């Protein structure tokens, strides 16, 4: 990583590894594929992060509500497995809301939230630091889809990766395995991973969660184009696209797309990209697992599931993994 800009505010240290995601080439490559696609990280400018927080409060969006309940109901059991006095790193920490549930039982030596959305990360870290003045916070703005993202300048001690929100499910299984390999660098031979994983369930529940009645998920999906307009000097007109989300049972994943409503073309970083009517941009996948299929996947990256916590309706799961 390049030398970061560093800022200190009370108990919060903020490292900004700019440039974070100004990779116009990466954006353009996605639009040159037969199935146009965007990495879901492009949802998350500041506005996208605010919209995601709104999604987490929607009645249809069960993952946040159920995961929070699992963490609350099992906070002591989780601490018994993960141990106290650890250095907790949370990749894709967003608002850092969920870690609050565990802070009293885990009593970490330090918390390292890391996220691509730098302004939102800084705001969230300062808010958390004010509410937990005893907590040593080392916030890191970086892109975990790029090499070398594991922060280096963090306190010594036993390490715990906290990876809630089923963000793991947004990765293709092969990328998820690669991500677990990277976590081993941070774990440095010991410690573990506390991870939230969304489970298979009736399609109607899944489809409702990604097609909320208020249309917030649609706004969130479309906002990726606003972000691309800024990052890659593009001229997307959002009115030319519609949100489309559905469960793909063959791939066992929710897919989010933006569907072009007419034939038109867009300029991206000086290149002209054409869209046919009904042609889509695949903006996100959200893979669903069973406890067994997840255990099998992580085993191939050298991790063992030590314990799993699941809600009564078996909608969502939280797992504690250790290196095998």
Ligand X SMILES: C[S@@+](CC[C@H](N)C(=O)[O-])C[C@H]1O[C@@H](n2cnc3c(N)ncnc32)[C@H](O)[C@@H]1O
Q: Residue 43 CB, nearest distance to ligand X (Å)?
A: 7
- Nearest 10 degrees: Cα torsion 153, 154, 155, 156: -90
60-to-51, 53, 88 alpha-carbon distances in Å: 15, 14, 30
110-115/87-91 β-pairing: parallel
Q: Residue 282 CB, nearest distance to ligand X (Å)?
A: 16
- Using the minimum distance from each CB to ligand X, give the nearer residue, 41 or 257: 41
Query: Which one, of 266, 84, 247, 80, lies nearest residue 169 by Cα?
Result: 247
- Using the minimum distance from each CB to ligand X, give the nearer residue, 257 or 284: 284
d(C-alpha 117, C-alpha 134), whole Å: 25
Instruction: Give the interface with ligand X as residue ranges (CB under 6 A).
Output: 41, 44, 49, 52, 56, 64, 92-94, 98, 115-117, 143-145, 164-165, 167
- Using the minimum distance from each CB to ligand X, give the nearer residue, 57 or 274: 57
Q: Residue 116 CB, nearest distance to ligand X (Å)?
A: 4
Q: Residue 78 CB, nearest distance to ligand X (Å)?
A: 15
- Using the minimum distance from each CB to ligand X, give the nearer residue, 116 or 135: 116
- Using the minimum distance from each CB to ligand X, give the nearer residue, 140 or 305: 140
Q: Which residue has the tokens 């569907």?
A: 259
- Nearest 10 degrees: Cα torsion 78, 84, 86, 91: 30
Q: Residue 137 CB, nearest distance to ligand X (Å)?
A: 15
Is the separation of the CB atoms in 291 and 308 below 8 Å?
yes
């Amino acid at each position: 990583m390049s030398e970061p800009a560093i800022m200190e505010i009370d108990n919060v240290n903020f490292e900004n590894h700019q440039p974070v995601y100004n990779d116009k080439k990466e954006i353009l490559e996605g639009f040159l594929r037969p199935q146009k696609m965007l990495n879901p990280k492009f949802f998350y400018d500041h506005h996208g992060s605010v919209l995601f927080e709104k999604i987490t409060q929607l009645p249809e969006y069960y993952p946040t509500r159920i995961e929070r309940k699992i963490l609350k109901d099992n906070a002591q059991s989780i601490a018994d497995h993960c141990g106290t006095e650890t250095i907790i790193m949370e990749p894709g920490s967003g608002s850092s809301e969920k870690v609050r549930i565990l802070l009293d039982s885990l009593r970490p030596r330090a918390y390292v939230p890391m996220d691509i959305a730098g302004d939102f990360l800084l705001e969230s870290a300062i808010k958390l630091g004010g509410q937990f003045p005893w907590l040593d916070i080392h916030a890191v703005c970086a892109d975990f889809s790029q090499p070398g993202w594991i922060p280096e300048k963090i306190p010594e001690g036993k390490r715990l990766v906290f990876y809630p929100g089923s963000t793991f499910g947004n990765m293709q299984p092969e990328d998820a395995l690669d991500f677990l390999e990277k976590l081993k660098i941070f774990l440095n031979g010991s410690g573990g991973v506390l991870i939230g994983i969304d489970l298979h369930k009736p399609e109607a529940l899944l489809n409702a969660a990604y097609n909320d009645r208020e249309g917030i998920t649609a706004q969130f999906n479309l906002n990726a184009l606003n972000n691309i307009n800024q990052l890659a000097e593009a001229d997307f007109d959002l009115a030319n696209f519609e949100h489309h989300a559905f469960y793909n049972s063959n791939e066992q994943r929710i897919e989010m797309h933006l569907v072009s409503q007419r034939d038109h073309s867009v300029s991206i970083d000086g290149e002209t990209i054409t869209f046919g009517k009904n042609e889509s941009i695949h903006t996100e996948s959200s893979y669903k697992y069973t406890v067994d299929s997840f255990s099998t996947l992580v085993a191939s990256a050298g991790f063992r599931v030590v314990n799993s916590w699941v809600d009564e309706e078996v909608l969502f799961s939280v797992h504690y993994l250790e290196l095998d």
